A and B are shown apart, each in its own frame.
Chain A
Amino acid sequence: MLGVRRSDLPLDKDAHSRFLPWLIAFMVFLAVLAIGGILVLGATASRWDQGVGGTLTVQIAATDNAAQDQNNLQEVLNVIAAESAIETYLVIDEERMMTLLKPWLGADADPADLPLPKLVDIGLADGARFDLLGFTERMQQRVPEATVDDHRVWLQRLVNLIETVELIGLATLGFIALATIGTVIFTTRTGLAVHKEAIEVLHLIGAQDSYIAGQFAGRALMLGLKGGLIGMALGLPALLAVGYLAESLEGAALPEITFGIFEWVLFAVIPIAVALLAMSTARATVLRSLARML
């Protein structure tokens, strides 16, 4: 086993490698936050998609004539009733409209003073084929004041935004990995320089390159694992704290951060992955350097 092999090089006493676990810990901390962000955004996107995807809103602009408005609403409801793909519909009543508008208009607004449009919330049947364009056309023929909003444009923009942020999150993970690799390379090179004499002796008495590289790799594995665990110990509470604060927000724009088994396994794998990354980087660095010797 690499981790338990006795070492001929005093790598465990190297002052320069003492800070490596901490650097790795910071990287892992950032990686945990990035992965947490990606998971939350993914969950958000799919929730919005499911929540909004099957809905339409028909808006009927108010006219000066209340009887005309009432007539328009009835016509719209007739069109809706003729549509087999529509499962549910709900006319938003005035009281609900005022609740929605209260943050903008204040509590004293009188609905009678306002030309409020009528809104009909429509739920589509799951998996049903729905001809949005035809529906819109029929609607506008009979009620020119009616407009149909399928949320798709709005939703598409949100999904685009989320996907972009997710890509940035993945790129962040990539950069974190590169920074980790770079740190391990420089630490290993310093170790090679510090122990040049001992390495040369090992080489001359017939040590295979892999024997020498294994000592550095084993050391890097331990340091990487240590750093990974410290990073997790810092990162997970931070992530859960963000989740707790987001949960207490009203109207929860973000879904609760509740992780399933997959997510927990993913987090458990991070310290191991970073340790293996450190190990293979150290090994490759040493092998590259030794290849220059006869």
Chain B
Amino acid sequence: MPDASITRFENVGLRYGLGPEVLQDVTFSLAAGSFHFLVGESGAGKSSLLKLMYLALKPSRGLISLFGKDIATTPRQELPALRRQIGVVFQEFRLLNHLSTFDNVALPLRVAGVREGDVVRHVAELLEWVGLKDHMKARPPTLSGGQQQRVSIARAVIARPKILLADEPTGNVDDRMALRLMHLFEELNRLGTTIVVATHNTALVERLGYPVMRLDAGRFSLIEGSGNVSPARAWHESRESGPESAKARRRPRRARPESETDETDADPPGIENFL
């Protein structure tokens, strides 16, 4: 049976060593182009679930399939090709401190064997887009937390992954910045990338209204979206015209709550130009 989902978990359990199960009977399927939040208390298993999703861990039991392939039966040497289609924004960024901003962002392309000329072009464009053009040569330790976060996000999206997993991407930034990052994710989502954002920020979750995957002490539940439309999406839909509108119309238009528009501060340049 062909599997159209991006990633599918069936009765997945995870334990570290002989300890108790940190995830129990997790079952879900993410459709291509979906956007989900992942919430739960600290220690509920959010990071463990993401690690399973970005192939850093093997489940103790259950089935995980990614892009229609069963991870357990996929030969090890084919896993890198799958990983290249996953973008990860790590909670603690995990930038390589000895490499410049440019080289950090270029890493996924170089690992994939992209020609150096293309690497330079793509990375320069993306860095300009995330506002780090002037910091290309800077090493991560000299950047602010917010800048490092943007480098980390740029690295996650540079290779145009099919799925983007972000672990607490709004953890160290203020609300304005958090919302800007969400705009970016929504842009990527609009262009077809499946997005999962793990967060503690309940205000953000309620505001954007996407479906929520919830973990309670390793137990999984899925809560459908509240139906609120995100200010970022509303902002985009309000200014869409011409060839771009066709893309946008795949999503149902929703009412635009007046009260939330004031938060859409900066004018995000179109990521379509980059991607």
Is A198 at the interface (CB under 8 A from chain B)?
yes
Within 8 A of B (CB), among A200-239: 200-209, 211
**CA separation between A205 and B108, bound complex, in Å?**
6
Within 8 A of A (CB), among B68-83: 76-77, 79-83
Quote the shortest CB–CB distance from A192 to chain B (angstroms).
Answer: 15
Within 8 A of A (CB), among B156-171: 159
Is B112 at the interface (CB under 8 A from chain A)?
yes
Is A8 at the interface (CB under 8 A from chain B)?
yes
Contacts of B155 in A (CB 8 A): 205
Is A129 at the interface (CB under 8 A from chain B)?
no
Is B88 at the interface (CB under 8 A from chain A)?
yes
Candidate in A6, A13, A208 with the most chain B CB atoms within 10 angstroms = A208
> A294 is contacted by which of B55, B77, B84, B98 (Cβ under 8 Å)?
B55
**CA separation between A54 and B260, bound complex, in Å?**
110
**CA separation between A13 and B96, bound complex, in Å?**
14
For B110, give the chain A residue with the smallest CB separation.
A8
Are A202 and B94 neighbours in the complex by a CB distance under 8 Å? no
Are B81 and A206 neighbours in the complex by a CB distance under 8 Å? yes
Are B57 and A206 neighbours in the complex by a CB distance under 8 Å? no
Is A127 at the interface (CB under 8 A from chain B)?
no
Is A10 at the interface (CB under 8 A from chain B)?
yes
Is A95 at the interface (CB under 8 A from chain B)?
no
Quote the shortest CB–CB distance from B101 to chain A (angstroms).
Answer: 14
**CA separation between A291 and B75, bound complex, in Å?**
12
**CA separation between A197 and B107, bound complex, in Å?**
15
- Interface contacts (Cβ under 8 Å), in number, total 57
Are B96 and A205 neighbours in the complex by a CB distance under 8 Å? no
Is B99 at the interface (CB under 8 A from chain A)?
yes
Are B79 and A13 neighbours in the complex by a CB distance under 8 Å? no
> B83 is contacted by which of A6, A198, A204 (Cβ under 8 Å)?
A204
Is B56 at the interface (CB under 8 A from chain A)?
yes
Q: How many residues of B contact A (CB 8 A)?
A: 27
**CA separation between A197 and B81, bound complex, in Å?**
21
Are A207 and B79 neighbours in the complex by a CB distance under 8 Å? no
Are B98 and A202 neighbours in the complex by a CB distance under 8 Å? no
Are A201 and B56 neighbours in the complex by a CB distance under 8 Å? no
With contact pairs A8-B96, A13-B98 given, residues A211 and B56 touching in the complex (Cβ less than 8 Å): no
For B103, give the chain A residue with the smallest CB separation.
A8
> B54 is contacted by which of A6, A198, A204, A209 (Cβ under 8 Å)?
A204
Are A204 and B99 neighbours in the complex by a CB distance under 8 Å? no
Are A205 and B107 neighbours in the complex by a CB distance under 8 Å? yes
Are B79 and A204 neighbours in the complex by a CB distance under 8 Å? no
Quote the shortest CB–CB distance from A209 to chain B (angstroms).
Answer: 8
Contacts of A10 in B (CB 8 A): 98
Are A202 and B56 neighbours in the complex by a CB distance under 8 Å? no
Are A198 and B84 neighbours in the complex by a CB distance under 8 Å? no
Are B111 and A211 neighbours in the complex by a CB distance under 8 Å? yes
Quote the shortest CB–CB distance from A281 to chain B (angstroms).
Answer: 22
Q: How many residues of A contact B (CB 8 A)?
A: 19
With contact pairs A8-B110, A294-B58 given, residues A204 and B77 touching in the complex (Cβ less than 8 Å): no
Contacts of B79 in A (CB 8 A): 294
Contacts of A6 in B (CB 8 A): 110
Contacts of A200 in B (CB 8 A): 56, 94
Are A206 and B80 neighbours in the complex by a CB distance under 8 Å? yes
Contacts of A294 in B (CB 8 A): 55-58, 76, 79
**CA separation between A198 and B98, bound complex, in Å?**
10
With contact pairs A8-B103, A294-B55 given, residues A201 and B94 touching in the complex (Cβ less than 8 Å): yes
> A206 is contacted by which of B76, B96, B111 (Cβ under 8 Å)?
B111
Are B55 and A207 neighbours in the complex by a CB distance under 8 Å? no
**CA separation between A198 and B140, bound complex, in Å?**
13
Contacts of B99 in A (CB 8 A): 8
Contacts of B98 in A (CB 8 A): 10, 13, 198
Are B88 and A204 neighbours in the complex by a CB distance under 8 Å? yes
For B55, give the chain A residue with the smallest CB separation.
A294
Are A208 and B55 neighbours in the complex by a CB distance under 8 Å? no
Quote the shortest CB–CB distance from B108 to chain A (angstroms).
Answer: 5
Contacts of B103 in A (CB 8 A): 8
Contacts of A13 in B (CB 8 A): 98
Contacts of A205 in B (CB 8 A): 83-84, 88, 107-108, 111, 155, 159
Quote the shortest CB–CB distance from A261 to chain B (angstroms).
Answer: 42
For A198, give the chain B residue with the smallest CB separation.
B96
Quote the shortest CB–CB distance from A201 to chain B (angstroms).
Answer: 5
B residues lining the A interface (CB < 8 Å): 54-58, 76-77, 79-84, 86, 88, 94, 96, 98-99, 103, 107-108, 110-112, 155, 159
Contact sample, A vs B, 18 pairs, CB 8 Å cutoff: A8-B99, A8-B110, A8-B111, A197-B94, A198-B98, A200-B56, A201-B94, A201-B107, A202-B111, A204-B54, A204-B83, A206-B80, A206-B82, A206-B83, A206-B86, A206-B159, A211-B111, A294-B79
Known: A204-B88, A206-B84, A211-B111. 11 other contacts (CB 8 A): A8-B96, A201-B96, A205-B84, A205-B88, A205-B107, A205-B111, A206-B82, A206-B83, A206-B108, A206-B159, A294-B79
Q: Which 5 A-B pairs have the closest CB atoms?
A: A206-B84, A206-B83, A10-B98, A207-B111, A206-B80
